[in-house]
């Protein structure tokens, strides 16, 4: 009987302890792309520490080449993640009179990461849609919000002139600066712009929520950024250009020069192509430089090997 009463007393005195134990949830194994972790399990008990590292060319979102994450109430803190250094962003910009909310500090942020700001008391966001977030797109942060003072806040620069929008002594106040900023299109998701734009001699190789990535076909070189974003006005950012990067070799032109082959060959910019002459072990070397084709005489294989072919 005494033991039963003692158990009842413990339940009465320490309900918070029992509640905390029941609230703690295990974690499932994280989905880590571009890296690996240990120990490997299907589920992890609360407060379990996980160690992970990333493949070459990638790194954890925290400082160092390896990182640890802890299972806390069913979630990993922080979420294990490996990011590419080229497309990643550094720390978010500091905005006057604003602080970043709901975000642990990270040294680098993955593509498409979102960071939200909150203005201090007396300041508001002067954006057309009240946007308070910035996004990591192709290695750069999008333009952040501006926290400005509103009427009656008592801060400097809050309102110039009377409440009717006129300057003291007559005349309208100057607000073109605000209006220009408010009308500036903001980056948004790519579905807002509709079908993917066509880049001649190029293809889309990566589709993310907030950007497209293009790659030029073989024998073409890229001019401009390979990343295309969508703005709130429904327009795509400037598209890359896939410029010809090859020379055309028409063998019919050199038929009298001792070639066995005929037809058309293509030589990439900055590369060479070796074609056989009519004699055994004799070759002619073609080179494409700045879109212009140059070539050597027919040389013996030994001369080519020792670099004596001109």
Q: Give the tens place of pLDDT for each residue, 90-107.
A: 888 888 888 888 777 777
Residue recorded with tokens 């803190």 = 77
pLDDT of residue 262: 66
Bridge partners for 137 per DSSP = 140
Q: Could you tell me the domains of the chain?
A: 23-84 (2.10.70.10), 87-151 (2.10.70.10), 190-244 (2.10.70.10), 246-305 (no CATH)
Instruction: Give the tens place of pLDDT for each residue, 63-85.
Output: 777 888 999 888 888 888 887 68
Pick the residue with more confidence: 18 or 51? 51
pLDDT in tens, 145-188: 888 886 544 444 333 333 343 433 344 444 444 444 445 678 88
Check if the beta carbon of residue 250 is closer than 8 Å to that of residue 293.
no
What are the counts of helices (DSSP H) followed by strands (DSSP E) for the chain? 4, 27
- Cα distances (Å, whole numbers) of residue 105 to 91, 92, 144: 8, 10, 18
Provide the pLDDT for residue 214.
92
Dump pLDDT digits (tens) for 290-308.
778 888 888 888 888 888 8
Residue 303, both tokens:
């001369």
Non-local CB neighbours of 26 within 8 Å, separated by 6+ positions: 43, 44, 45, 46, 71, 74
**pLDDT over 60 (residue 11):** no
Q: Alpha carbon of 309 to those of 34, 47, 218, 268: distances in Å?
A: 46, 70, 28, 20
């Amino acid at each position: 009987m005494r033991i039963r009463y003692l158990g009842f007393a413990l339940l009465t005195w320490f309900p918070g302890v029992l509640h905390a134990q029941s609230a703690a949830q295990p974690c499932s194994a994280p989905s880590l792309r571009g890296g690996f972790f240990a120990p490997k399990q299907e589920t992890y008990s609360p407060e379990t520490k996980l160690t992970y590292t990333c493949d070459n060319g990638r790194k954890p979102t925290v400082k160092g080449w390896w990182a640890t994450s802890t299972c806390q109430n069913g979630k990993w803190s922080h979420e294990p993640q490996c990011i590419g250094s080229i497309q990643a962003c550094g720390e978010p910009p500091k905005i006057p009179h604003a602080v970043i909310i709901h975000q642990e500090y990270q040294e680098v942020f993955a593509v498409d990461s979102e960071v939200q700001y909150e203005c201090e008391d007396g300041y508001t966001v002067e954006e057309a849609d009240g946007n308070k977030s910035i996004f990591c797109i192709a290695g750069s942060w999008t333009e952040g919000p501006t926290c400005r003072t509103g009427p009656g806040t008592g801060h400097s620069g809050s309102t110039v002139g009377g409440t009717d929008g006129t300057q003291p002594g007559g005349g309208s106040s100057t607000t073109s600066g605000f209006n220009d900023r408010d009308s500036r299109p903001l980056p948004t998701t790519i579905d807002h712009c509709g079908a993917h734009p066509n880049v001649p001699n190029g293809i889309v190789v990566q589709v993310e929520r907030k950007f497209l990535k293009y790659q030029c076909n073989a024998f073409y070189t890229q001019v401009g950024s390979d990343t295309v974003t969508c703005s709130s006005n429904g327009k795509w950012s400037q598209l890359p250009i896939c410029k010809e990067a090859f020379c055309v070799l028409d063998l019919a032109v050199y038929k009298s020069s001792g070639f066995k082959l005929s037809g058309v060959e293509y030589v990439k910019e900055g590369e060479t192509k070796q074609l056989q002459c009519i004699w055994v072990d004799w070759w002619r070397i073609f080179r494409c430089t700045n879109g212009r084709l140059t070539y050597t005489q027919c040389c013996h294989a030994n001369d080519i090997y020792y670099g004596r072919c001109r």
